[in-house]
Structure 1
Amino acid sequence: MVSRVPTCVLLLALTGGLLLFPWPGAAQGLPPTTGEQRAVEVDVHATDAGTTLSAEDARRLGLSTDGGEATLVPPVLTQESPAEYPEGLEGVDGEVVLELRVDEQGGVAEVYVTGGTSEKALVASAVAAAKGLRFSPATLGGQPVSVRLPFVYRFEAPLPESFMSHLTGTVRAKGTRRPLVGAAVFLDGSTTPVATTDSDGRFSLKTLPGGHRIEVRAPGHAPERFEEVLIQGETLDVLYRLEPLVVNPYETVVRDERERTEVSRITLHEQELREVPGTVGDPFRVVMLMPGVGSLASGISYPVVRGSQPAATGFFLDGVRIPMLYHLLLGPAVVHPDFIDSIDFYAGVPPAQYGRLLGGAVEGRISRPREDRLHYTVYADLLNSGGFVEYPFASTGTSVSVAGRVSYTGLLLLPLSEALNGTQQDYSRGRANFWDYQARVEQKLGQGRLRLFALGSSDDLGVTPIPDAPERDGVGVHTVFHRVDLRGTHPLAGGEAELGLTWGLDDFGFIGERTVKRPQGIVVERAGEYTLRQVSVSARARWQRRFSEFLELSAGADVEHRRAAIVLKGTGIAPGQREDELSDDPFQSPSSLATFSGGWTQLVWRPASPWTVSAGMRADSYHLVPGITHLALEPRLAVRHALSESLTLKAGAGLFHQPPTVLLHVPVLDTSGLRYGLQEGLQMDVGAEWKPFNGWEVGVDVFYNPLRRTVEFDLTEVALERRRIGLSGPDPAESGYAYGAELMVRHPLGDNWFGWVSYSFLQSKRHQRFARFDADGNVVEWTRGTLPFAFEQEHVFNAALSYKIGKDLTLGTVVHFNTGRPESGEVTSKTMSARFDVAGNPIWVRQDVDRAGRLPPFFRVDFRVAKSWALEDLTLDLYLDILNVSFQRETYGYFYNFSDPNETGGRREHLREPVALPLIIPMLGLKATY
Structure 2
Amino acid sequence: MGSRVSLPALLLALAGGVLLWPWSGAAQGLPPTTGDQRAVEVDVHATDAGTTLSAEDARRLGLSTDGGEATLVPPVLLQESPAAYPEGLEGVDGEVVLELRVDEQGGVAEVDVTGGTSEKALVASAVAAAKGLRFSPATLGGQPVSVRLPFVYRFEAPLSESFMGHLTGTVRAKGTRRPLVGAVLFLDGSTTPAATTDSDGRFSLKVLPGAHRLELRAPGHAPERFEEVLVQGETLEVLYRLEPLVVNPYETVVRDERERTEVSRITLHEQELREVPGTVGDPFRVVMLMPGVGSLASGISYPVVRGSQPAATGFFLDGVRIPMLYHLLLGPAVVHPDFIDSIDFHVGVPPAQYGRLLGGAVEGRISRPREDRLHYTVYADLLNSGGFVEYPFASTGTSVSVAGRVSYAGLLIVPLAESLNESGSEYSRSRASFWDYQARVEQKLGQGRLRLFALGSSDDFGSTPIPDVANKNGFGVRTTFHRVDLRGTHPLAGGEAELGLTWGLDDFGFLGERTVARPQGIGVERVGEYTLRQLSVSARARWQRRFSGTLELTAGADVEHRRAAIVLRGTGLAPGQREDTLSDDPFQSPSSLATFSGGWTQLVWRPASPWTVSAGLRADAYHLVPGITHPALEPRLAVRHALSESLTLKAGAGLFHQPPTVLLHVPVLDTSGLRYGLQEGMQVDVGAEWKPFQGWEVGVDAFYNPLRRTVEFDLTEVALERRRIGLTGPDPAESGYAYGAELMVRHPLGDNWFGWVSYSFLRSRRHQRFARFDAEGNVVEWTRGTLPFAFEQEHVFNAALSYKLGRSITLGAVLHFNTGRPESGEITSKTMSPRFDEAGGPLWVRQDLDRVGRLPPFFRVDFRAAKSWALEDLTLDLYLDILNVSFQQEIYGYVYNFSDPKETGGRREHLREPLALPLIIPMLGLKAAY
Deviation at 1:579, TM superposition (A): 3.1
SS state of the match for residue 354, structure 2? coil
- Post-superposition shift, 1:651? 1.3
Cα deviations across residues 694-734 of structure 1 (Å, max 9, x unaligned)? 11111111111111111111111122447685765362211
Distance 1:115 1:775, change over 3 A: farther
**Mapping for residues 280-679 of structure 1, pairs under 5 Å:** 280-419=280-419, 425-679=425-679
Q: How far off is 1:858 after superposition?
A: 0.5
Name the CA shift for 1:903/1:746 in 2 (closer, same or farther; >3 Å).
same
Instruction: Give the direction of change, closer, same or farther, for the CA distance of 1:867–1:12 in structure 2 (3 Å limit).
Output: farther
1:835 Cα shift? 1.1
Structure 1 SS opposite 2:162: helix
**2:824 corresponds to which residue?**
824
Aligned-residue offset at 1:89 = 7.6
| Residue number in structure 1 paired with 2:187 | 187
SS in 2 for 1:10: helix
SS of corresponding position for 1:399: strand
In structure 1, C-alpha distance between the alignment counterparts of 2:716 and 2:48, rounded to whole Å? 102
What does the per-residue CA deviation read over 1:128-167, in whole Å, with 9 as the maximum and x for residues that have no partner?
A: 9999999999999999999999999866442111111111
Q: Contact conserved, 1:24 with 1:62, CA < 8 A, in 2?
A: no
Number of aligned pairs? Answer: 930
Deviations 1:260-313 (A, max 9, x none): 111111111111111111001100000001111110000000000111110000
How far 1:14 moved relative to its partner? 8.4
Question: How far apart are the structure 1 equivalents of 2:441 and 2:566?
Answer: 34
Q: CA offset at residue 245 of structure 1?
A: 1.0
SS of 2:689 mapped into structure 1: strand
- 1:487-520 deviations in whole A, cap 9, x for unaligned? 1111111111111100000011111111111122
State the shift of 1:15 in Å. Answer: 9.7
- Equivalence for 1:68: 68
Contact 2:3-2:85 within 8 A present in 1 as well? no
Q: How far does the alpha carbon of each residue in 1:111-143 deviate from its partner, in whole angstroms, 9 at most, with x for none?
A: 999999999999999999999999999999999
1:413 deviates by 2.1
Q: The residue matched to 2:823 in structure 1 has which SS?
A: coil
Distance 1:33 1:716 in 2: 131
Structure 1 219/842 Cα, relative in aligned 2: closer, same or farther at 3 Å? same
- 8 Å CA contact 1:13–1:149 kept in 2: the answer is no
Report the 3-state secondary structure (helix = DSSP H, G, I; strand = E; otherwise coil) of the residue aligned with 1:418: helix
- Superposition RMSD in Å: 5.8
What is the aligned partner in structure 2 of residue 57 from structure 1?
Answer: 57
Conserved 8 A contact 2:3-2:84: no
Name the CA distance, whole Å, in 2 between partners of 1:609 and 1:27. 80
Stretch of structure 1 that moved more, 28-37 or 584-593: 28-37
- Judged with a 3 Å threshold, the aligned counterparts in structure 2 of structure 1 residues 734 and 49 are, in CA distance, closer, same or farther, namely farther
TM-score (norm 1): 0.88
| Residue deviations 1:796-849 (CA, integer Å, cap 9, x gap) | 111111111112211111111111111111221001111111111111100011
Cα distance in 1 between the residues matched to 2:60 and 2:613: 74
- Classify the secondary structure of the residue corresponding to 1:623: strand
Taking a change above 3 Å as real, the CA distance of residues 4 and 887 of structure 1, as seen in their structure-2 partners, is farther
Q: What is the CA–CA distance in structure 2 between the aligned matches of 1:697 and 1:66, rounded to whole Å?
A: 78
2: CA distance, partners of 1:99 / 1:628? 108
> d(CA) in 1 for partners of 2:63 and 2:264?
71
CA separation of 1:840/1:548 partners in 2, compared to 1, >3 Å: closer, same or farther?
same
The alpha-carbon distance between structure 1 residues 421 and 162, as it changes in their structure 2 partners (threshold 3 A), is same
- Would the alpha carbon gap of residues 263 and 727 (structure 1) be closer, same or farther in structure 2, given more than 3 Å must change? closer
Going from structure 1 to structure 2, the CA distance change for 1:7 and 1:894 (only over 3 Å counts) comes to farther
Structure 2 vs 1, CA of residues 38 and 753 (structure 1 numbering), >3 Å: closer, same or farther?
Answer: farther
* TM-fit CA distance, 1:458: 0.4
Per-residue CA distance 1:631-657 (angstroms, 9 max, x = gap): 111111111112222221111111111
Q: Judge conservation of contact 1:391–1:400 (CA < 8 Å) in 2.
A: yes
- What's the CA shift for 1:905? 2.0
Q: Distance in 1 between matches of 2:32 and 2:474?
A: 116
Give the 3-state SS of the residue equivalent to 1:27 in structure 2: helix
Moved more, 152-161 or 81-90: 81-90
Measured at CA, do residues 501 and 50 of structure 1 come closer, stay the same or move farther in structure 2, by a change above 3 Å? farther
Contact 2:575-2:719 at 8 Å conserved across structures = yes
3-state DSSP of counterpart to 2:193: coil
Partners of 1:4 and 1:151 within 8 A in 2: no
- Alpha-carbon distance change, 24 to 756 in structure 1, aligned in 2, over 3 angstroms: farther
- The answer as to whether partners of 2:25 and 2:37 remain within 8 angstroms in 1 is no
SS at match of 1:621: strand
8 Å CA contact 2:830–2:846 kept in 1: the answer is yes
How far off its partner does 1:319 sit?
A: 0.2
Residues 181 and 199 in structure 2, CA contact (< 8 A), matched pair in contact too: yes
How far residue 256 of structure 1 moved from its aligned partner, in angstroms, is 1.5
Answer with 51-60 or 793-802: which moved more.
51-60
Relative distance call for 1:848 and 1:44 in structure 2 (3 A) is: farther
Q: Secondary structure at the match of 1:873?
A: coil
Instruction: Assess if the C-alpha contact under 8 Å between 1:704 and 1:737 holds in 2.
Output: yes
Distance 1:734 1:95, change over 3 A: farther
Q: Secondary structure at the match of 1:416?
A: helix
1:18-70 alpha-carbon deviations (Å, 9 max, x no partner)? 99999999999999999999999999999999999999999999999999999
Deviates more, 1:474-483 or 1:638-647: 638-647
Change in CA separation of 1:213 and 1:515 when aligned onto 2, cut-off 3 Å = same
Distance 1:32 1:536 in 2: 119
Cα 1:719–1:422 change in 2 (3 A) is: closer
In the TM superposition, residue 253 of structure 1 has moved relative to its aligned partner by 2.2
Q: Distance in 1 between matches of 2:108 and 2:737?
A: 79
Contact 1:10–1:151 under 8 Å retained in 2: no
| Residue in structure 2 matched with residue 178 of structure 1 by the alignment | 178
Distance in 1 between residues matched to 2:101 and 2:415, nearest whole Å: 90
Identity of aligned residues (%): 90
* TM-score normalised by L of structure 2: 0.88
SS in 1 for 2:261: coil
Deviates more, 1:236-245 or 1:73-82: 73-82
- CA distance 1:190–1:664, shift in 2 (3 Å): same
Checking the alignment, whether the CA contact within 8 Å between 2:460 and 2:477 is kept in structure 1 is yes
Please say if residues 473 and 515 of structure 1, whose CA atoms lie closer than 8 Å, have aligned partners that are also in contact: yes
Secondary structure at 1:161 match in 2:
coil
SS of aligned partner of 2:27: helix
Offset at residue 681 of structure 1 (A):
1.0
CA contact (8 A) 1:768 1:784 kept: yes
8 Å CA contact 2:173, 2:241 repeated in 1 = yes
SS of the counterpart of 1:71? strand
* 721 and 580 in structure 1: CA distance in 2 versus 1, 3 angstrom threshold: closer
Distance 2:140 2:528 in 1: 105
- For residues 322-367 of structure 1, the C-alpha deviation after alignment (integer angstroms, 9 at most, x for no partner) is 0000000110000001111111111011111111101111000111
* SS class of match (1:722): coil
Q: Give the direction of change, closer, same or farther, for the CA distance of 1:783–1:394 in structure 2 (3 Å limit).
A: same
Specify the SS of the correspondent of 1:13. Answer: helix
Deviations along 1:764-805, one digit per CA (max 9) or x if unpaired, are 111111111111111111111111111111111111111111
**1:846 corresponds to:** 846
SS at match of 1:670: helix
CA contact (8 A) 1:588 1:723 kept: no
Q: If you compute each CA radius of gyration, which structure gives the higher value, 1 or 2?
A: 2
Measure the CA separation in 2 of the matches of 1:353 and 1:31: 107
Q: Secondary structure at the match of 1:291?
A: coil
* Contact 2:195/2:203 (8 A) holds in 1: yes
Q: Is the 8 A contact 1:620 1:632 kept in 2?
A: yes
Question: Using the alignment, how far apart are the partners of 1:810 and 1:104 within structure 2?
Answer: 72
1:416 Cα offset (Å): 3.3
Q: Which runs of 5+ in 1 are unaligned?
A: none
Alignment match, 2:23: 23
**Aligned pair in 2 of structure 1 residues 88, 780: CA closer, same or farther (>3 Å)?**
farther
Take 2:66 and 2:779, find their aligned partners in 1: how far apart are those partners?
114
Change (3 A) 1:162 1:297: same
| Structure 1 contact 792–822 (Cα < 8 Å) conserved | yes
- Give 3-state SS (helix, strand or coil) of 2:36's partner: coil
Give the stretch that moved more between structures: 696-705 or 434-443: 696-705
Deviates more, 1:660-669 or 1:216-225: 216-225
Q: For residues 838-888 of structure 1, what are the alpha-carbon distances to aligned partners after superposition, in whole Å with 9 as ceiling and x for unaligned? A: 111111100011111111110001111111111111111111111001110
Q: Go from structure 1 to structure 2 and tell me whether the alpha carbon gap of 1:913 and 1:138 turns closer, same or farther (over 3 Å shift).
A: farther
Paired residue secondary structure (2:580): coil
Distance in structure 2 (CA, Å) of the matches to 1:115 and 1:196: 42
**How many Å separate the matches in 1 of 2:655 and 2:110?**
78
Structure 2 stretches lacking a partner, 5+ long? none
